[in-house]
């Protein structure tokens, strides 16, 4: 049961970001009122407050997992990336599955439902450093879309309970075990809805 290859492709496909700010202490995010923007407050093992311009794209086969009989189940995903211009700051990535509609998306649990059958999400915080990349995986929380159309407007309240560290000299195909973590992220975003679909 894995989504790592698809997720790696998704992360690489969404590398667009614009200006943001940061401070030494996280603060409660302000609701973006106009234009594409995001505001995030991250606390716990990672502490920062970041702003910027989000991006979104749709991938026809953005998520895959394997059921108990070993068959792969794939679904389309709308990927939303909240990435600050400063690459040393963490990037929050959301994969929205199921109908893109106003309402609350719950965390998808592998094997709990056919992927794409209802509004669910998966999420990462990716933090790159000179020694490697730290991938924090969302383990609880919600994503709420308040407006859907030409623009997606939403809020996130997420907890990340584990981390996978990938060293910078990692050989291709290497895998690493998750260890415990505690990171919380709250924020808001306004992003143009994807206008095309990648395979």
Cβ atoms 111, 1 nearer than 8 A: yes
- Quickly count: other Cβ atoms within 10 Å of residue 192's Cβ: 14
| Annotated domain spans of the chain | 4-194
Surface-to-core class of residue 25, CB atoms within 10 Å of its CB (0-12 exposed, 13-18 middle, 19+ buried): exposed
Classified as helix, coil or strand, 63 is strand
pLDDT score at 34: 66
- Render each residue's pLDDT in the chain as its tens digit; 199 residues: 444 434 433 333 333 333 333 334 455 455 545 689 999 999 999 999 999 999 999 999 999 999 888 889 999 999 999 999 998 999 999 999 999 999 999 999 998 889 999 999 999 999 999 999 999 999 999 999 999 999 999 999 999 999 999 999 999 999 999 999 999 999 999 999 999 999 9
pLDDT score at 26: 55
Cα 116 to chain centroid, rounded: 16
Per the listing, tokens 């049961």 go with: 1
For 12, residues 6+ apart whose C-beta sits below 8 A from its C-beta are: none
Q: For the whole model, what pTM was predicted?
A: 0.82
């Amino acid at each position: 049961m894995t989504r790592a290859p698809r997720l790696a492709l998704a992360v690489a496909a969404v590398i667009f970001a614009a200006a943001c700010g940061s401070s030494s202490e996280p603060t409660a995010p302000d609701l973006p009122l106009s234009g594409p923007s995001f505001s995030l407050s991250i606390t716990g093992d990672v502490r920062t407050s970041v702003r910027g311009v989000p991006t979104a794209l749709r991938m026809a086969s953005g998520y895959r997992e394997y059921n108990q009989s070993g068959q792969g189940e794939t679904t389309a995903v709308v990927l939303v990336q909240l990435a600050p211009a400063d690459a040393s700051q963490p990037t929050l990535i959301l994969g929205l599955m199921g109908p893109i509609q106003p309402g609350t998306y719950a965390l998808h649990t592998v094997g709990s439902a056919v992927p794409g059958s209802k509004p669910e999400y998966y999420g990462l915080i990716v933090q790159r450093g000179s020694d490697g990349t730290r991938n924090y995986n969302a383990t609880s929380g919600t994503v709420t879309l308040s407006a859907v159309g030409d623009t997606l407007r939403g809020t996130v309240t997420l907890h990340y309970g584990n981390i996978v560290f990938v060293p910078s000299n990692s050989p291709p195909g290497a895998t690493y075990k998750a260890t415990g973590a505690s990171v919380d992220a709250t924020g808001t975003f306004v992003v143009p809805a994807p206008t095309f679909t990648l395979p």
